[in-house]
Amino acid sequence: MQNILVTGGAGFIGSNFVRHILRAGADLRVVTLDALTYAGSLENLKDLPHPEKHAFVQGDICDRTLVENTLDQHKIDTIVHFAAESHVDRSILGPGPFVQTNLVGTFTLLESARLVWGESGGFDGRRFHHVSTDEVFGSLGPGDPAFREVTPYDPRSPYSASKAGSDHLVRAYFHTYALPVTLTNCSNNYGPYQFPEKLIPLMILNAIRGAPLPVYGDGLQVRDWLYVEDHCEAIHLVLEKGRPGETYNIGGGNQPVNIEIVRLVCAILDELHPQGTPHERLITHVPDRPGHDRRYAMDITKIQAELGWSPRHTLGSGLRTTVEWYLSRPEWVTVIAQQSGYNEWLEKNYGKRGGGM
């Protein structure tokens, strides 16, 4: 029996992963540890497959006693660490929580695993998997090659700097203490349950209510989009077959400019949720994000060659499924907005930018 601790499992990717792993494995139990910040919600963990195999613990990954007790009581042998402050714009407006959760929280988990596992049978059969981002590698120019696992770190926002620091800590625990870690650095995810502060769900929900679609700057920035289920499959494979101490890059091979993503969302909505005039009329250019990274792209040769992973979803199919999901879940949207103070966030981030949000 495998006992898996998923930190941040009430958030976007974490909750998709909890679903994925409960569906996939007969012989496992999952414990979600989540502080339920604005980004986490029990709404994301409703209707799980095999709910009898899942337990929820509300708490902060910085709380050492709680983390140690959870590892001990649930006999955890595998940690999949998603919990983080994850939004770049929030890190610009208030970096403190990013340093606390992403650095101190990751450190607390590492120390707890080292101690609890060290005192209960050693590290054999144990795994600490750290979920990280392509943003640690910095920003690419138009002709630069895609990020590889060996690309030097060059983070440029408080968010990516705190994730970079957490990656270094995780690797330090492998080299210094032989803690069996693996890391994945992934590009931009999209799909069901994504908090609507991120580009794609924000655009879908604004378009549905006829509000402006705020494109930062010229909208020609490039991200490497990946459907969330593909990310979950990649992490699962790394848990099963990845080599301790190794890092694997994950990406979708989809690199349209932002404005094109917004236009694609509009076109899908024109078909599924027509409102008389094309949704594209709502596109509004607003002042840019400070320090905005221009382009990300992931070289996924290593995970393809070593583990046989490739994304299964195309951008077209993934976006359509995502738009359909948000259109079919108005109750989820309402509850999430109420729980998280969403309107205050819109005012805080977009109020000064103008554009009539």
Taking alpha carbons only, the member of 163, 183, 185 closest to residue 173 is 183
258 touching ligand DAU, by CB under 6 A: yes
Active site residue 240: no
Would you give the binding string for ligand DAU spanning residues 217-236, x where CB under 6 A is met? ----x-x-------------
195 touching ligand NAD, by CB under 6 A: yes
Q: Which of 30, 146, 164, 202 binds ligand DAU (CB under 6 A)?
A: 202
**Judged by CB, which is closer to ligand NAD: 183, or 207?**
183
- Using CA atoms, how far apart are residues 351 and 348, in angstroms rounded to an integer? 6
CB of 355 to ligand DAU, least distance (A): 9
User: Which among 90-98, 130-138, 169-177, 311-319 is the span making contact with ligand DAU, rule CB under 6 A?
Assistant: 130-138
How would DSSP label each residue in 140-153?
A: --TTPPPB-TTSPP
- Using CA atoms, how far apart are residues 39 and 82, in angstroms rounded to an integer? 12
Sign of CA dihedral 107, 108, 110, 115: positive
Tell me how crowded residue 47 is: count the other CB atoms within 10 A of its CB: 6
**Judged by CB, which is closer to ligand NAD: 11, or 214?**
11
Would you give the binding string for ligand DAU spanning residues 151-190, x where CB under 6 A is met? ------------------------------------xx--
Which one of the listed residues 34, 60, 134, 167 is annotated catalytic?
Answer: 134
Asked whether the beta carbons of 44 and 11 are under 8 A apart, the reply is: yes
Asked whether the beta carbons of 220 and 281 are under 8 A apart, the reply is: no
Q: Which two tokens stand for residue 144?
A: 């630069």
Active site residue 270: no
Active site residue 135: yes
How would DSSP label each residue in 264-314?
A: HHHHHHHHHS--SS-GGGGEEEEPPPTT---B--B--HHHHHHH-------
Which one of the listed residues 159, 227, 296, 350 is annotated catalytic?
Answer: 159
CB of 171 to ligand NAD, least distance (A): 16
Query: Residue 202 binds what, of ligand NAD, ligand DAU, none (CB under 5 to 8 Å, by partner type)?
Result: ligand DAU
- Using CA atoms, how far apart are residues 32 and 67, in angstroms rounded to an integer? 11
- Using CA atoms, how far apart are residues 236 and 22, in angstroms rounded to an integer? 11
Looking at the DSSP bridge assignments, the partners of residue 30 are 4, 54
Q: Which two tokens stand for residue 240?
A: 């099963």
109 touching ligand NAD, by CB under 6 A: no
Amino acid at 332: W
Which one of the listed residues 85, 135, 167, 229 is annotated catalytic?
Answer: 135
Q: Which of 5, 31, 35, 266 binds ligand NAD (CB under 6 A)?
A: 35
- Helices and strands per DSSP (H, E), number in the chain: 13, 11
Query: Residue 297 binds what, of ligand DAU, ligand NAD, none (CB under 5 to 8 Å, by partner type)?
Result: none
- Using CA atoms, how far apart are residues 123 and 235, in angstroms rounded to an integer? 20
Which residues are annotated as catalytic? 134-135, 159
Residue ranges in contact with ligand NAD by CB under 6 A: 7-8, 10-14, 34-37, 39-40, 60-62, 82-86, 101, 105, 131, 133, 163, 186, 188-189, 195
Residue ranges in contact with ligand DAU by CB under 6 A: 86-88, 133-135, 187-188, 198-199, 202, 214-216, 221, 223, 258, 289, 296
